[in-house]
Structure 1
Amino acid sequence: MSGNDYLNQVQRAIDFIEDNLNKEILIRKIANEGGMSQWHFQRMFRAITGDTVKEYVRNRRLTFAARMLRSNKNIRILDLALDCQFESQESFSRAFKKYFGITPKKFISSSKDLNMISKLRIDEVYLEHLQKGVTMKPKIIEKDEMKLVGIGVQFIGVFSEGGKDDKVIPQLWGRFKTRISEIKNRVEAHRIGIVDCYPTDSEYESDDNLVYFACVEVNSFCEIPKGMRAMIIPKSKFASFTHNGEPNDIDRTLKYIYGSWLPKSDYKRANGPDFEVLSKDYPKNGEYDYWLPIE
Protein backbone atom coordinates (compact mmCIF):
# COMPACT_ATOMS: atom_id res chain seq x y z
CA MET A 1 0.00 0.00 0.00
CA SER A 2 1.42 3.38 -0.98
CA GLY A 3 1.31 6.49 1.18
CA ASN A 4 -1.39 7.95 -1.06
CA ASP A 5 -3.53 4.82 -0.67
CA TYR A 6 -3.26 5.15 3.08
CA LEU A 7 -4.16 8.83 3.00
CA ASN A 8 -7.16 7.99 0.83
CA GLN A 9 -8.35 5.59 3.55
CA VAL A 10 -8.12 8.33 6.14
CA GLN A 11 -9.93 10.78 3.89
CA ARG A 12 -12.75 8.28 3.27
CA ALA A 13 -13.30 8.05 7.01
CA ILE A 14 -13.38 11.84 7.33
CA ASP A 15 -15.81 12.08 4.40
CA PHE A 16 -18.05 9.57 6.18
CA ILE A 17 -18.05 11.76 9.29
CA GLU A 18 -18.94 14.83 7.25
CA ASP A 19 -21.79 13.05 5.47
CA ASN A 20 -23.31 11.93 8.78
CA LEU A 21 -22.92 14.90 11.10
CA ASN A 22 -26.70 15.00 11.66
CA LYS A 23 -26.85 11.30 12.52
CA GLU A 24 -25.55 9.12 15.32
CA ILE A 25 -21.97 8.13 14.47
CA LEU A 26 -20.21 5.17 16.07
CA ILE A 27 -16.42 5.23 16.01
CA ARG A 28 -16.24 1.61 14.90
CA LYS A 29 -18.32 2.45 11.81
CA ILE A 30 -16.02 5.37 10.97
CA ALA A 31 -13.01 3.09 11.35
CA ASN A 32 -14.61 0.44 9.15
CA GLU A 33 -15.22 3.05 6.46
CA GLY A 34 -11.48 3.73 6.45
CA GLY A 35 -10.62 0.03 6.48
CA MET A 36 -8.97 0.16 9.92
CA SER A 37 -9.48 -1.26 13.37
CA GLN A 38 -11.18 1.00 15.87
CA TRP A 39 -8.05 1.38 18.04
CA HIS A 40 -5.77 2.01 15.07
CA PHE A 41 -8.12 4.63 13.64
CA GLN A 42 -8.45 6.52 16.91
CA ARG A 43 -4.69 6.56 17.43
CA MET A 44 -4.02 7.62 13.83
CA PHE A 45 -6.74 10.28 13.90
CA ARG A 46 -5.40 12.01 16.98
CA ALA A 47 -1.83 11.77 15.67
CA ILE A 48 -2.82 13.56 12.47
CA THR A 49 -5.39 16.06 13.76
CA GLY A 50 -4.50 16.65 17.40
CA ASP A 51 -8.14 15.93 18.34
CA THR A 52 -9.93 12.77 19.37
CA VAL A 53 -12.57 11.52 16.94
CA LYS A 54 -15.34 12.62 19.30
CA GLU A 55 -13.83 16.09 19.68
CA TYR A 56 -13.62 16.52 15.91
CA VAL A 57 -17.21 15.33 15.37
CA ARG A 58 -18.56 17.58 18.13
CA ASN A 59 -16.62 20.63 16.93
CA ARG A 60 -17.71 20.11 13.32
CA ARG A 61 -21.32 19.81 14.47
CA LEU A 62 -20.99 23.04 16.44
CA THR A 63 -19.50 24.74 13.39
CA PHE A 64 -22.41 23.51 11.29
CA ALA A 65 -24.81 24.83 13.93
CA ALA A 66 -23.13 28.24 14.01
CA ARG A 67 -23.42 28.57 10.24
CA MET A 68 -27.10 27.61 10.38
CA LEU A 69 -27.75 30.20 13.09
CA ARG A 70 -25.97 32.87 11.07
CA SER A 71 -27.87 32.08 7.87
CA ASN A 72 -31.32 31.53 9.42
CA LYS A 73 -32.16 33.65 12.45
CA ASN A 74 -35.63 32.05 12.70
CA ILE A 75 -34.33 28.55 13.31
CA ARG A 76 -35.38 26.97 16.61
CA ILE A 77 -32.37 26.24 18.81
CA LEU A 78 -33.97 23.05 20.12
CA ASP A 79 -34.46 21.69 16.59
CA LEU A 80 -30.86 22.54 15.73
CA ALA A 81 -29.60 20.92 18.92
CA LEU A 82 -31.40 17.67 18.18
CA ASP A 83 -30.29 17.75 14.54
CA CYS A 84 -26.69 17.99 15.76
CA GLN A 85 -27.21 14.92 17.97
CA PHE A 86 -27.28 16.71 21.32
CA GLU A 87 -29.68 15.31 23.91
CA SER A 88 -31.17 18.67 24.85
CA GLN A 89 -31.08 22.37 24.11
CA GLU A 90 -29.30 22.91 27.42
CA SER A 91 -26.42 20.50 26.62
CA PHE A 92 -26.10 22.01 23.15
CA SER A 93 -25.98 25.56 24.52
CA ARG A 94 -23.32 24.61 27.09
CA ALA A 95 -21.14 22.99 24.43
CA PHE A 96 -21.65 25.92 22.04
CA LYS A 97 -20.64 28.46 24.68
CA LYS A 98 -17.65 26.41 25.81
CA TYR A 99 -16.35 26.14 22.25
CA PHE A 100 -17.23 29.59 20.87
CA GLY A 101 -17.42 31.71 24.04
CA ILE A 102 -21.01 32.83 23.37
CA THR A 103 -24.43 31.21 23.73
CA PRO A 104 -26.42 30.28 20.60
CA LYS A 105 -29.17 32.73 21.57
CA LYS A 106 -26.77 35.66 21.85
CA PHE A 107 -24.90 34.63 18.71
CA ILE A 108 -28.07 34.94 16.60
CA SER A 109 -28.30 38.67 17.27
CA SER A 110 -24.57 39.37 17.30
CA SER A 111 -22.09 40.16 14.55
CA LYS A 112 -19.28 38.25 16.25
CA ASP A 113 -16.98 36.25 13.98
CA LEU A 114 -16.36 32.74 15.27
CA ASN A 115 -13.34 30.51 14.83
CA MET A 116 -15.05 27.75 12.87
CA ILE A 117 -13.13 24.63 11.87
CA SER A 118 -13.35 23.45 8.29
CA LYS A 119 -13.53 19.91 7.02
CA LEU A 120 -10.13 18.22 7.15
CA ARG A 121 -8.35 17.49 3.91
CA ILE A 122 -5.51 15.03 4.49
CA ASP A 123 -2.68 15.01 1.97
CA GLU A 124 1.11 14.92 1.78
CA VAL A 125 1.41 18.68 2.24
CA TYR A 126 -0.66 18.53 5.43
CA LEU A 127 1.52 15.75 6.87
CA GLU A 128 4.77 17.52 5.98
CA HIS A 129 3.56 20.59 7.84
CA LEU A 130 2.41 18.52 10.81
CA GLN A 131 5.62 16.57 11.38
CA LYS A 132 8.25 18.93 10.04
CA GLY A 133 11.69 18.15 11.43
CA VAL A 134 10.73 14.88 13.15
CA THR A 135 12.36 11.70 11.83
CA MET A 136 12.77 8.20 13.23
CA LYS A 137 13.86 5.09 11.32
CA PRO A 138 12.34 1.82 12.54
CA LYS A 139 13.84 -1.65 12.47
CA ILE A 140 11.78 -4.14 10.47
CA ILE A 141 11.65 -7.42 12.38
CA GLU A 142 9.89 -10.74 11.89
CA LYS A 143 8.72 -12.81 14.86
CA ASP A 144 7.64 -16.42 14.87
CA GLU A 145 4.50 -17.39 16.73
CA MET A 146 4.61 -16.08 20.30
CA LYS A 147 2.98 -17.51 23.41
CA LEU A 148 2.18 -14.87 26.01
CA VAL A 149 0.89 -15.04 29.58
CA GLY A 150 -0.26 -12.04 31.57
CA ILE A 151 -3.06 -10.06 33.18
CA GLY A 152 -5.36 -7.47 31.66
CA VAL A 153 -7.44 -4.48 32.62
CA GLN A 154 -10.32 -2.66 30.96
CA PHE A 155 -9.75 1.05 30.41
CA ILE A 156 -10.85 4.06 28.41
CA GLY A 157 -8.15 5.11 25.95
CA VAL A 158 -6.62 8.57 25.87
CA PHE A 159 -8.17 9.01 22.41
CA SER A 160 -11.65 9.05 23.99
CA GLU A 161 -13.16 11.59 26.34
CA GLY A 162 -12.56 10.55 29.94
CA GLY A 163 -9.47 8.57 28.93
CA LYS A 164 -7.69 7.15 31.95
CA ASP A 165 -4.95 4.79 30.75
CA ASP A 166 -2.36 7.00 32.46
CA LYS A 167 -3.80 5.77 35.77
CA VAL A 168 -4.92 2.17 35.32
CA ILE A 169 -2.02 0.91 33.19
CA PRO A 170 0.80 1.84 35.62
CA GLN A 171 -1.25 0.24 38.39
CA LEU A 172 -1.59 -2.91 36.29
CA TRP A 173 2.17 -3.07 35.72
CA GLY A 174 2.70 -2.65 39.45
CA ARG A 175 0.50 -5.68 40.17
CA PHE A 176 2.01 -7.71 37.35
CA LYS A 177 5.61 -7.17 38.48
CA THR A 178 4.81 -8.75 41.82
CA ARG A 179 3.47 -11.87 40.07
CA ILE A 180 5.92 -12.41 37.21
CA SER A 181 7.79 -15.02 39.24
CA GLU A 182 4.63 -17.18 39.25
CA ILE A 183 4.82 -17.64 35.46
CA LYS A 184 6.69 -20.77 34.43
CA ASN A 185 8.78 -21.22 31.26
CA ARG A 186 9.48 -17.51 30.69
CA VAL A 187 11.51 -16.96 27.54
CA GLU A 188 13.34 -13.69 28.21
CA ALA A 189 13.41 -10.67 30.48
CA HIS A 190 11.46 -8.33 28.20
CA ARG A 191 7.97 -7.40 29.27
CA ILE A 192 5.23 -6.81 26.72
CA GLY A 193 2.23 -4.51 26.85
CA ILE A 194 -0.64 -5.05 24.40
CA VAL A 195 -3.60 -2.79 23.68
CA ASP A 196 -6.65 -4.33 22.06
CA CYS A 197 -10.38 -3.75 21.62
CA TYR A 198 -12.96 -5.99 23.18
CA PRO A 199 -14.38 -8.47 20.65
CA THR A 200 -17.72 -7.54 19.16
CA ASP A 201 -19.49 -10.28 21.15
CA SER A 202 -18.03 -9.11 24.45
CA GLU A 203 -20.25 -7.80 27.24
CA TYR A 204 -17.88 -4.83 27.33
CA GLU A 205 -18.38 -3.89 23.67
CA SER A 206 -18.13 -0.12 23.39
CA ASP A 207 -16.56 2.59 21.27
CA ASP A 208 -14.44 3.61 24.26
CA ASN A 209 -13.64 0.42 26.16
CA LEU A 210 -10.26 -1.13 25.47
CA VAL A 211 -8.21 -3.76 27.20
CA TYR A 212 -4.51 -3.63 28.07
CA PHE A 213 -2.49 -6.77 28.80
CA ALA A 214 0.80 -6.85 30.69
CA CYS A 215 2.55 -10.02 29.54
CA VAL A 216 5.75 -12.02 29.21
CA GLU A 217 6.62 -14.56 26.52
CA VAL A 218 6.68 -18.24 27.46
CA ASN A 219 7.64 -21.42 25.62
CA SER A 220 4.61 -23.39 26.88
CA PHE A 221 1.27 -22.82 28.59
CA CYS A 222 1.71 -25.27 31.45
CA GLU A 223 0.59 -24.09 34.89
CA ILE A 224 -0.92 -20.72 33.99
CA PRO A 225 -1.25 -18.77 37.27
CA LYS A 226 -4.72 -18.06 38.62
CA GLY A 227 -6.29 -14.92 37.18
CA MET A 228 -3.91 -14.76 34.22
CA ARG A 229 -4.64 -15.25 30.54
CA ALA A 230 -2.78 -17.10 27.81
CA MET A 231 -2.55 -15.62 24.30
CA ILE A 232 -1.04 -16.77 21.01
CA ILE A 233 0.25 -14.15 18.57
CA PRO A 234 0.76 -15.65 15.08
CA LYS A 235 3.94 -15.16 13.10
CA SER A 236 4.11 -11.45 12.32
CA LYS A 237 6.21 -8.64 10.90
CA PHE A 238 6.71 -5.45 12.90
CA ALA A 239 8.19 -1.99 12.50
CA SER A 240 10.06 -1.45 15.78
CA PHE A 241 10.56 2.13 16.97
CA THR A 242 12.83 2.84 19.93
CA HIS A 243 11.46 5.58 22.16
CA ASN A 244 14.19 7.71 23.69
CA GLY A 245 12.88 9.73 26.57
CA GLU A 246 10.55 9.66 29.53
CA PRO A 247 7.41 7.47 29.49
CA ASN A 248 5.26 10.61 29.53
CA ASP A 249 6.79 11.67 26.20
CA ILE A 250 5.62 8.57 24.30
CA ASP A 251 2.73 10.52 22.75
CA ARG A 252 5.20 12.41 20.54
CA THR A 253 6.65 9.13 19.27
CA LEU A 254 3.19 7.73 18.56
CA LYS A 255 2.18 10.87 16.70
CA TYR A 256 5.20 10.43 14.44
CA ILE A 257 4.52 6.72 13.85
CA TYR A 258 0.84 7.12 13.00
CA GLY A 259 0.80 10.66 11.68
CA SER A 260 3.91 10.64 9.50
CA TRP A 261 5.88 7.39 9.11
CA LEU A 262 3.00 4.99 8.37
CA PRO A 263 1.16 7.18 5.83
CA LYS A 264 4.42 7.84 3.96
CA SER A 265 5.79 4.30 4.10
CA ASP A 266 5.24 1.45 1.66
CA TYR A 267 3.70 -0.63 4.43
CA LYS A 268 0.14 -1.23 5.55
CA ARG A 269 -0.77 -1.77 9.18
CA ALA A 270 -1.51 -5.46 9.57
CA ASN A 271 -4.23 -6.99 11.73
CA GLY A 272 -3.24 -7.53 15.32
CA PRO A 273 -2.40 -5.41 18.35
CA ASP A 274 0.45 -2.97 18.79
CA PHE A 275 3.17 -4.03 21.23
CA GLU A 276 5.06 -2.10 23.89
CA VAL A 277 8.29 -4.01 24.53
CA LEU A 278 9.95 -2.94 27.76
CA SER A 279 13.34 -3.99 29.08
CA LYS A 280 13.43 -5.26 32.65
CA ASP A 281 14.73 -2.02 34.18
CA TYR A 282 12.61 0.44 32.17
CA PRO A 283 11.91 3.32 32.90
CA LYS A 284 14.92 3.75 35.22
CA ASN A 285 17.24 2.22 32.63
CA GLY A 286 16.90 0.20 29.48
CA GLU A 287 14.70 0.75 26.45
CA TYR A 288 11.10 1.09 25.34
CA ASP A 289 10.37 -0.24 21.86
CA TYR A 290 7.05 0.23 20.10
CA TRP A 291 6.18 -2.55 17.64
CA LEU A 292 3.68 -1.76 14.91
CA PRO A 293 2.32 -4.81 13.01
CA ILE A 294 2.87 -4.31 9.28
CA GLU A 295 2.52 -6.10 5.96
Structure 2
Amino acid sequence: MIAALNKVVSFIEERLDEEIDVVELTRELGTTEYHLRRMFSSLAGMPLSEYIRRRRMTVAAAEVLAAGDLLGTAVRYGYGSTEALNRAFRAVHGISPAEARHHGGPLQSQPQLRFHLTVEGNAPMETRITDRPGFRLIGHSARVPLIHEGINQHIQAHIASLPELEHARLKSLSDAEPAGILQVSADVDPDYTEASELTYLHGVAVTETTPVPEDLSVIELPAGAWAVFRTQGPHPEALQSTWAATATEWFPSNPWRLRPGPSIVAVLDHAADFSTATTELWMPVERASHLS
Protein backbone atom coordinates (compact mmCIF):
# COMPACT_ATOMS: atom_id res chain seq x y z
CA MET A 1 0.00 0.00 0.00
CA ILE A 2 2.82 2.43 0.79
CA ALA A 3 4.37 1.93 -2.66
CA ALA A 4 0.95 2.35 -4.27
CA LEU A 5 0.32 5.63 -2.42
CA ASN A 6 3.69 7.02 -3.52
CA LYS A 7 2.80 6.11 -7.12
CA VAL A 8 -0.47 7.97 -6.65
CA VAL A 9 1.42 11.07 -5.48
CA SER A 10 3.74 10.90 -8.51
CA PHE A 11 0.76 10.36 -10.83
CA ILE A 12 -0.94 13.45 -9.40
CA GLU A 13 2.21 15.55 -9.63
CA GLU A 14 2.57 14.78 -13.35
CA ARG A 15 -1.06 15.76 -14.01
CA LEU A 16 -1.74 18.80 -11.84
CA ASP A 17 -2.84 20.68 -14.96
CA GLU A 18 -4.82 17.73 -16.37
CA GLU A 19 -7.89 15.75 -15.42
CA ILE A 20 -6.91 13.12 -12.84
CA ASP A 21 -8.68 9.78 -13.32
CA VAL A 22 -8.33 8.04 -9.95
CA VAL A 23 -10.41 5.04 -11.08
CA GLU A 24 -8.05 4.30 -13.96
CA LEU A 25 -5.05 4.71 -11.67
CA THR A 26 -6.38 2.23 -9.10
CA ARG A 27 -6.89 -0.36 -11.83
CA GLU A 28 -3.27 0.06 -12.90
CA LEU A 29 -2.14 -0.37 -9.29
CA GLY A 30 -4.24 -3.52 -8.78
CA THR A 31 -6.29 -2.04 -5.93
CA THR A 32 -9.69 -0.32 -5.63
CA GLU A 33 -10.69 3.33 -5.44
CA TYR A 34 -12.52 2.69 -2.14
CA HIS A 35 -9.48 1.14 -0.45
CA LEU A 36 -7.08 3.71 -1.91
CA ARG A 37 -9.14 6.69 -0.72
CA ARG A 38 -9.59 5.27 2.77
CA MET A 39 -5.88 4.48 3.18
CA PHE A 40 -4.77 7.83 1.72
CA SER A 41 -7.04 9.77 4.06
CA SER A 42 -5.98 7.75 7.10
CA LEU A 43 -2.25 8.11 6.43
CA ALA A 44 -2.15 11.63 4.97
CA GLY A 45 -4.62 13.17 7.40
CA MET A 46 -6.63 14.67 4.53
CA PRO A 47 -8.86 13.39 1.73
CA LEU A 48 -7.25 12.63 -1.64
CA SER A 49 -9.38 15.34 -3.28
CA GLU A 50 -8.19 17.90 -0.73
CA TYR A 51 -4.53 17.01 -1.36
CA ILE A 52 -5.03 17.46 -5.11
CA ARG A 53 -6.65 20.87 -4.53
CA ARG A 54 -3.86 22.00 -2.18
CA ARG A 55 -1.13 20.93 -4.58
CA ARG A 56 -2.85 22.62 -7.52
CA MET A 57 -3.30 25.85 -5.60
CA THR A 58 0.32 25.70 -4.40
CA VAL A 59 1.55 25.52 -8.00
CA ALA A 60 -1.09 27.97 -9.27
CA ALA A 61 0.06 30.56 -6.71
CA ALA A 62 3.28 31.08 -8.68
CA GLU A 63 1.27 31.94 -11.80
CA VAL A 64 -1.00 34.25 -9.81
CA LEU A 65 1.97 36.15 -8.37
CA ALA A 66 3.49 36.40 -11.86
CA ALA A 67 0.36 38.33 -12.93
CA GLY A 68 -0.67 35.61 -15.37
CA ASP A 69 -4.14 35.52 -16.91
CA LEU A 70 -6.47 34.31 -14.13
CA LEU A 71 -8.95 32.66 -16.49
CA GLY A 72 -6.15 30.79 -18.19
CA THR A 73 -4.82 29.68 -14.82
CA ALA A 74 -8.31 28.60 -13.74
CA VAL A 75 -8.85 26.48 -16.86
CA ARG A 76 -5.36 24.99 -16.67
CA TYR A 77 -5.99 23.65 -13.16
CA GLY A 78 -9.48 22.30 -13.77
CA TYR A 79 -11.67 25.26 -12.78
CA GLY A 80 -14.28 26.56 -15.20
CA SER A 81 -14.19 30.19 -14.13
CA THR A 82 -12.15 32.76 -12.25
CA GLU A 83 -14.82 32.65 -9.52
CA ALA A 84 -14.24 28.92 -9.00
CA LEU A 85 -10.48 29.49 -8.92
CA ASN A 86 -10.98 32.31 -6.43
CA ARG A 87 -12.96 30.03 -4.07
CA ALA A 88 -10.38 27.23 -4.26
CA PHE A 89 -7.48 29.67 -3.85
CA ARG A 90 -9.08 31.30 -0.80
CA ALA A 91 -9.89 27.90 0.75
CA VAL A 92 -6.22 26.90 0.58
CA HIS A 93 -4.38 30.20 1.11
CA GLY A 94 -6.93 32.20 3.11
CA ILE A 95 -6.73 35.15 0.69
CA SER A 96 -7.93 35.83 -2.85
CA PRO A 97 -5.68 35.85 -5.94
CA ALA A 98 -6.07 39.66 -6.09
CA GLU A 99 -4.93 40.02 -2.47
CA ALA A 100 -2.00 37.67 -3.14
CA ARG A 101 -0.91 39.82 -6.06
CA HIS A 102 -1.24 43.01 -4.05
CA HIS A 103 0.45 41.83 -0.85
CA GLY A 104 2.54 38.89 -2.07
CA GLY A 105 1.09 36.61 0.60
CA PRO A 106 0.95 35.01 3.03
CA LEU A 107 0.52 31.79 1.05
CA GLN A 108 0.08 28.27 2.38
CA SER A 109 2.33 25.79 0.55
CA GLN A 110 1.39 22.11 0.37
CA PRO A 111 4.59 20.04 -0.05
CA GLN A 112 4.53 16.94 -2.20
CA LEU A 113 3.76 14.00 0.08
CA ARG A 114 6.05 11.02 0.56
CA PHE A 115 4.74 7.98 2.42
CA HIS A 116 6.99 5.84 4.62
CA LEU A 117 6.03 2.79 6.65
CA THR A 118 7.32 2.53 10.22
CA VAL A 119 6.19 -0.51 12.16
CA GLU A 120 7.37 -0.51 15.76
CA GLY A 121 6.04 -3.98 16.53
CA ASN A 122 5.73 -3.21 20.22
CA ALA A 123 1.92 -3.33 20.23
CA PRO A 124 0.71 -6.51 18.50
CA MET A 125 -2.77 -6.30 17.00
CA GLU A 126 -5.07 -9.16 17.98
CA THR A 127 -6.77 -9.94 14.68
CA ARG A 128 -8.70 -12.77 13.07
CA ILE A 129 -10.19 -13.24 9.60
CA THR A 130 -13.64 -14.77 9.38
CA ASP A 131 -15.66 -15.69 6.30
CA ARG A 132 -19.32 -14.98 6.82
CA PRO A 133 -22.39 -15.86 4.78
CA GLY A 134 -24.73 -13.03 3.91
CA PHE A 135 -26.48 -11.50 6.92
CA ARG A 136 -28.44 -8.43 7.99
CA LEU A 137 -27.91 -5.61 10.43
CA ILE A 138 -31.16 -4.36 11.92
CA GLY A 139 -31.89 -1.60 14.41
CA HIS A 140 -32.47 2.12 14.80
CA SER A 141 -30.49 4.38 12.46
CA ALA A 142 -29.68 8.09 12.29
CA ARG A 143 -27.50 10.37 10.16
CA VAL A 144 -24.62 11.77 12.24
CA PRO A 145 -21.35 13.61 11.55
CA LEU A 146 -18.07 11.69 11.49
CA ILE A 147 -15.83 12.50 14.48
CA HIS A 148 -12.32 11.04 14.49
CA GLU A 149 -11.42 11.51 18.15
CA GLY A 150 -13.36 11.53 21.39
CA ILE A 151 -17.00 10.81 22.10
CA ASN A 152 -19.52 11.43 19.34
CA GLN A 153 -22.27 13.33 21.14
CA HIS A 154 -24.67 12.86 18.21
CA ILE A 155 -24.42 9.08 18.51
CA GLN A 156 -24.80 9.29 22.27
CA ALA A 157 -27.97 11.38 21.85
CA HIS A 158 -29.38 8.88 19.35
CA ILE A 159 -28.81 5.95 21.73
CA ALA A 160 -30.20 7.90 24.70
CA SER A 161 -33.39 8.61 22.75
CA LEU A 162 -34.23 4.89 22.61
CA PRO A 163 -36.49 3.52 25.37
CA GLU A 164 -34.68 1.35 27.92
CA LEU A 165 -36.71 -1.74 27.00
CA GLU A 166 -35.74 -1.33 23.34
CA HIS A 167 -32.16 -2.40 24.01
CA ALA A 168 -33.41 -5.66 25.49
CA ARG A 169 -35.75 -6.22 22.54
CA LEU A 170 -32.94 -5.68 20.05
CA LYS A 171 -30.63 -8.04 21.90
CA SER A 172 -33.34 -10.74 21.90
CA LEU A 173 -33.48 -10.54 18.09
CA SER A 174 -29.74 -11.19 17.63
CA ASP A 175 -29.13 -14.62 16.07
CA ALA A 176 -25.92 -14.17 14.06
CA GLU A 177 -22.32 -13.04 14.50
CA PRO A 178 -21.24 -10.55 15.65
CA ALA A 179 -23.43 -11.17 18.67
CA GLY A 180 -25.14 -8.67 20.96
CA ILE A 181 -25.82 -4.96 20.57
CA LEU A 182 -23.71 -3.46 17.78
CA GLN A 183 -22.52 0.03 16.84
CA VAL A 184 -22.60 0.22 13.05
CA SER A 185 -21.13 2.96 10.82
CA ALA A 186 -22.41 2.77 7.23
CA ASP A 187 -22.39 4.99 4.12
CA VAL A 188 -19.10 6.51 5.28
CA ASP A 189 -17.38 8.98 2.96
CA PRO A 190 -14.53 7.00 1.28
CA ASP A 191 -12.22 9.97 1.99
CA TYR A 192 -13.17 9.66 5.70
CA THR A 193 -13.59 13.43 5.93
CA GLU A 194 -14.08 14.86 9.42
CA ALA A 195 -17.69 16.08 9.94
CA SER A 196 -18.96 14.32 6.81
CA GLU A 197 -22.23 12.49 7.40
CA LEU A 198 -22.60 8.74 7.92
CA THR A 199 -25.42 6.41 8.87
CA TYR A 200 -25.13 5.16 12.44
CA LEU A 201 -27.19 2.08 13.32
CA HIS A 202 -27.70 0.86 16.88
CA GLY A 203 -28.77 -2.73 16.45
CA VAL A 204 -27.93 -6.40 16.03
CA ALA A 205 -26.94 -8.97 13.41
CA VAL A 206 -29.47 -11.51 12.13
CA THR A 207 -29.55 -14.15 9.42
CA GLU A 208 -30.96 -13.41 5.97
CA THR A 209 -34.12 -15.40 6.80
CA THR A 210 -34.88 -13.85 10.20
CA PRO A 211 -38.17 -11.87 10.18
CA VAL A 212 -37.49 -8.16 10.73
CA PRO A 213 -39.96 -5.94 12.64
CA GLU A 214 -41.31 -3.14 10.43
CA ASP A 215 -40.10 -0.37 12.76
CA LEU A 216 -36.41 -1.27 12.32
CA SER A 217 -33.93 -0.17 9.65
CA VAL A 218 -32.13 -2.91 7.68
CA ILE A 219 -28.64 -3.09 6.14
CA GLU A 220 -28.19 -6.10 3.83
CA LEU A 221 -24.66 -7.53 3.76
CA PRO A 222 -23.41 -10.01 1.14
CA ALA A 223 -21.25 -13.02 1.95
CA GLY A 224 -17.58 -12.13 2.39
CA ALA A 225 -14.53 -11.92 4.62
CA TRP A 226 -14.20 -9.71 7.69
CA ALA A 227 -11.10 -8.66 9.62
CA VAL A 228 -11.90 -8.60 13.33
CA PHE A 229 -9.67 -6.50 15.63
CA ARG A 230 -9.98 -6.98 19.40
CA THR A 231 -9.34 -3.93 21.58
CA GLN A 232 -9.19 -3.43 25.33
CA GLY A 233 -8.66 -0.31 27.44
CA PRO A 234 -9.94 3.26 27.84
CA HIS A 235 -13.10 3.82 25.80
CA PRO A 236 -13.39 5.12 23.14
CA GLU A 237 -9.66 5.96 22.94
CA ALA A 238 -8.44 2.34 22.65
CA LEU A 239 -10.95 1.61 19.90
CA GLN A 240 -10.09 4.78 17.96
CA SER A 241 -6.37 4.03 18.30
CA THR A 242 -6.88 0.54 16.90
CA TRP A 243 -9.02 1.93 14.09
CA ALA A 244 -6.16 4.26 13.09
CA ALA A 245 -3.59 1.45 13.38
CA THR A 246 -5.48 -0.69 10.86
CA ALA A 247 -4.45 1.83 8.21
CA THR A 248 -0.94 2.66 9.44
CA GLU A 249 0.16 -0.86 10.40
CA TRP A 250 -2.17 -3.74 9.59
CA PHE A 251 -3.30 -3.15 5.98
CA PRO A 252 0.19 -2.17 4.70
CA SER A 253 1.59 -5.39 6.23
CA ASN A 254 -1.10 -7.89 5.23
CA PRO A 255 -2.51 -9.15 1.90
CA TRP A 256 -5.98 -7.73 2.51
CA ARG A 257 -7.76 -4.57 1.46
CA LEU A 258 -11.02 -2.89 2.46
CA ARG A 259 -14.13 -3.61 0.45
CA PRO A 260 -17.24 -1.38 0.53
CA GLY A 261 -19.42 -1.97 3.53
CA PRO A 262 -20.10 -0.83 7.08
CA SER A 263 -17.72 -1.11 10.00
CA ILE A 264 -19.15 -2.79 13.08
CA VAL A 265 -18.19 -2.45 16.73
CA ALA A 266 -19.28 -5.18 19.15
CA VAL A 267 -18.87 -4.29 22.82
CA LEU A 268 -17.92 -7.52 24.61
CA ASP A 269 -17.47 -6.08 28.10
CA HIS A 270 -17.35 -2.63 29.72
CA ALA A 271 -17.08 -0.80 33.01
CA ALA A 272 -20.28 0.50 34.58
CA ASP A 273 -19.47 4.04 33.43
CA PHE A 274 -18.11 2.86 30.07
CA SER A 275 -14.70 4.42 30.87
CA THR A 276 -13.06 1.15 29.77
CA ALA A 277 -14.28 -1.55 27.41
CA THR A 278 -13.33 -4.68 25.51
CA THR A 279 -14.52 -4.46 21.91
CA GLU A 280 -14.28 -6.10 18.52
CA LEU A 281 -13.96 -3.93 15.41
CA TRP A 282 -15.29 -5.72 12.31
CA MET A 283 -14.13 -4.38 8.92
CA PRO A 284 -15.18 -5.86 5.52
CA VAL A 285 -12.11 -7.03 3.57
CA GLU A 286 -11.08 -8.94 0.48
CA ARG A 287 -7.81 -10.62 -0.38
CA ALA A 288 -5.43 -8.47 -2.42
CA SER A 289 -3.18 -9.88 -5.12
CA HIS A 290 -0.23 -8.30 -3.31
CA LEU A 291 0.38 -5.88 -0.44
CA SER A 292 -1.64 -3.05 -1.95
TM-score with structure 1 setting the length: 0.68
Separation in 1, partners of 2:259, 2:52? 26
The structure-2 alpha-carbon separation of the partners of 1:285 and 1:248, relative to structure 1 and needing over 3 Å to count, comes to closer
**Please, which runs of 5 or more residues in structure 2 have no aligned partner?**
190-195, 288-292
Q: In the aligned structure 2, how far is the partner of 1:15 from the partner of 1:224?
A: 49
Matched, 1:221 2:217: no
Is the CA contact (8 Å cut-off) linking 2:258 and 2:286 kept in structure 1?
A: yes
148-157 vs 45-54, which deviates more? 148-157
2:235–2:277 contact (8 Å) kept in structure 1: no
Q: Which SS does the other structure have where 2:57 is aligned?
A: helix
Distance 1:177 1:57, change over 3 A: farther
AA partner of residue 74 (structure 2): A
Q: Give unmatched runs, 5+ long, in structure 1.
A: 1-5, 160-164, 199-207
Does residue 1:279 correspond to 2:268, yes or no?
Answer: yes
Partner amino acid for 2:78?
Q
Per the alignment, residue 255 of structure 2 pairs with 267
Is residue 2:138 matched to residue 1:145?
no
1:61 partnered with 2:49: no
Deviation at 1:60, TM superposition (A): 0.7
Question: C-alpha displacement at 1:137, in angstroms?
Answer: 1.8
1:94-113 equivalence runs, <5 A: 94-97=87-90, 99-100=92-93, 102-108=95-101
Q: What amino acid is aligned across from residue 135 of structure 2 in structure 1?
A: K
Aligned to 2:42: 47
**Paired residue for 2:229?**
240
Q: Partner of 1:14: helix, strand, or coil?
A: helix
* Structure 1 residues 54 and 166: CA distance shift in structure 2, 3 A: farther
2:290 aligned partner: none
SS of 1:279's equivalent in the other structure is strand
Counterpart Cα distance in 2 of 1:245 and 1:146: 33
Cα RMSD of the aligned pairs, angstroms, is: 4.0
Distance in 1, matches of 2:277 and 2:127, equals 17
Contact 1:190-1:280 within 8 A present in 2 as well: no
Three-state SS of the structure 2 residue aligned to 1:222 is coil
Contact 1:276–1:288 (CA under 8 A) maintained in structure 2: yes
Q: Distance in 2 between matches of 1:98 and 1:235?
A: 41
State the match for 1:84 in structure 2. Answer: 77
Identity of aligned residues (%): 19
Deviation at 1:48, TM superposition (A): 1.1
**CA shift digits 1:73-93 (9 cap, x unpaired):** 241123313433345434533
Distance 1:112 1:166, change over 3 A: same
Question: For residues 49-84 of structure 1, what are the alpha-carbon distances to aligned partners after superposition, in whole Å with 9 as ceiling and x for unaligned?
Answer: 1112232121111112013335xx241123313433
Q: 1:85 to 1:278 in 2, by over 3 A?
A: farther
Aligned with residue 117 of structure 2, among 124, 127, 130? 127
Alpha-carbon distance, 1:258 to partner? 0.4
- The structure with the largest strand share of the pair is 2
How far apart in 2 are the matches of 1:63 and 1:81? 13
